[in-house]
């Protein structure tokens, strides 16, 4: 496994820079995608999302210029959906996934969303824990949703994103991320 730099070349702690994904990022995104999922999105899926899907919003997380994470949402009026999120395996467990999810939630709220949903493999404990931390609860189970191994998907849901309760939760989580 590659060593993970905790500091940049000036000896300062590295901070994840989150910026909108562009088509020139797709090669890096696909590298992380292949290292993160057993079934990957087809090559042109990100191109289609970026070019043609008006409700799609994708972001990458960079450390000192290197893409180490990405994620996306669809937002339609008050509904939002996390379509994907992944962190380069060499950079996991350092709160980068959490920072990215926090950013996706902020963006969704900014765009008017009041609810957020997603699907997650039943066995994906890291992701389930991350989502639970951000107030997502399981609301449905889709049997044999994943075609590679017939694994069930859990549908998770969080809301009301714009209510005081959720905003306070988000504020506290963000403050703890900043520490
Ligand atoms: C899920 C994923 C994005 C988490 O990113 P990460 O940067 O490694 O996670 P973070 O360091 O930000 O951890 C944030 C929270 O996630 C949960 N979590 C992360 N890694 C975990 C692990 N190995 N075991 C249990 N919980 C874990 C915890 O709740 C953690 O909060 P805590 O540190 O206060 O306990 C990352 O594991 C990943 O890319 N997985 C492969 C792709 C994937 O499964 N995406 C989700 C599809 S639905």
Report the pLDDT value the prediction gives residue 9, as an integer from 0 to 100: 61
- In sequence order, the 6+-apart residues with CB closer than 8 A to the CB of 145 are 119, 151, 152, 153
Residue 51 lies in a domain: yes
Contacts of 64 (CB under 8 A, 6+ apart): 5, 8, 9, 14
> Across the chain, what does the average pLDDT equal?
93
**Is residue 56 assigned to a domain?**
yes
Report the largest interatomic distance among the alpha carbons of the chain, rounded to a whole angstrom. 50
- Is 8 among the domain residues? no
Using the mean position of ligand 1's atoms as its centre, give its distance from the Cα of residue 132 in Å: 11
Q: Which residues are catalytic?
A: 119, 131
| Cβ–Cβ < 8 Å for 116, 158 | yes
* Predicted confidence band of residue 179 (pLDDT cuts 50, 70, 90): confident
pLDDT value of position 14:
75
102 domain-assigned: yes
Q: How confident is the model at residue 2 (pLDDT cuts 50, 70, 90)?
A: very low
Query: Is residue 157 within 8 Å of residue 132, measured between CB atoms?
Result: no
Residue 2 covered by a domain: no
Residue 151 lies inside a defined structural domain of this protein: yes
77 CA to middle of ligand 1, Å?
Answer: 28
pLDDT band (50, 70, 90) for residue 3? very low
Instruction: Kindly give the number of the ligand 1 atom that is closest to the alpha carbon of 119.
Output: 48
Question: Which residues surround ligand 1 with Cβ inside 6 Å?
Answer: 36, 85-87, 92-98, 120, 124-127, 129-130, 133
Say how many domains are in the chain. Answer: 1
pLDDT category at 1 given cuts 50, 70, 90 is very low
Domain membership of residue 146 as a residue range:
17-178
What percentage of the chain carries pLDDT values higher than 70?
A: 93
Model confidence at 113: pLDDT above 80: yes
The confidence band for 111, taking pLDDT boundaries of 50, 70 and 90, is very high
| Residue whose CA lies nearest to ligand 1 atom number 21 | 126
Interval between CA 3 and ligand 1 midpoint (Å): 19
Averaged pLDDT, 127-135: 98
| Ligand 1 atom closest to residue 129's alpha carbon, by position in its atom list | 29
pLDDT band at 5 (very low <50, low <70, confident <90, very high): very low
Give the domain CATH number at 112. Answer: 3.40.630.30
pLDDT tier, 15 (very low <50, low <70, confident <90, very high otherwise): confident
Nearest atom, ligand 1, residue 37 CA: 42
* 101 domain-assigned: yes
Over residues 151-155, mean pLDDT:
98
Q: What does the pLDDT look like over 51-72, one tens digit per residue?
A: 999 999 999 999 999 999 999 9
């Amino acid at each position: 496994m590659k060593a993970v730099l905790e500091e940049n070349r000036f000896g300062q702690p590295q901070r994840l820079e989150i910026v909108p994904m562009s088509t020139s990022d797709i090669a890096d995104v696909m590298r992380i995608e292949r290292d993160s999922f057993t079934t990957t999105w087809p090559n042109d899926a990100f191109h289609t999302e970026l070019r043609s899907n008006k409700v799609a919003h994708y972001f990458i997380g960079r450390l000192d210029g290197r893409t180490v994470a990405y994620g996306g949402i669809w937002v339609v009026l008050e509904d939002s959906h996390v379509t994907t999120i992944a962190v380069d395996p060499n950079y996991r467990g350092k709160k980068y996934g959490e920072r990215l999810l926090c950013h996706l939630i902020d963006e969704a709220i900014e765009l008017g969303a009041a609810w957020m949903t997603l699907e997650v493999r039943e066995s994906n404990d890291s992701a389930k824990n991350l989502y639970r931390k951000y107030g997502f609860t399981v609301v449905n189970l889709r049997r044999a949703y994943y075609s590679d191994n017939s694994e069930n998907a859990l549908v998770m849901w969080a809301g009301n994103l714009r209510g005081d309760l959720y905003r306070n939760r988000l504020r506290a989580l963000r403050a703890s991320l900043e520490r």
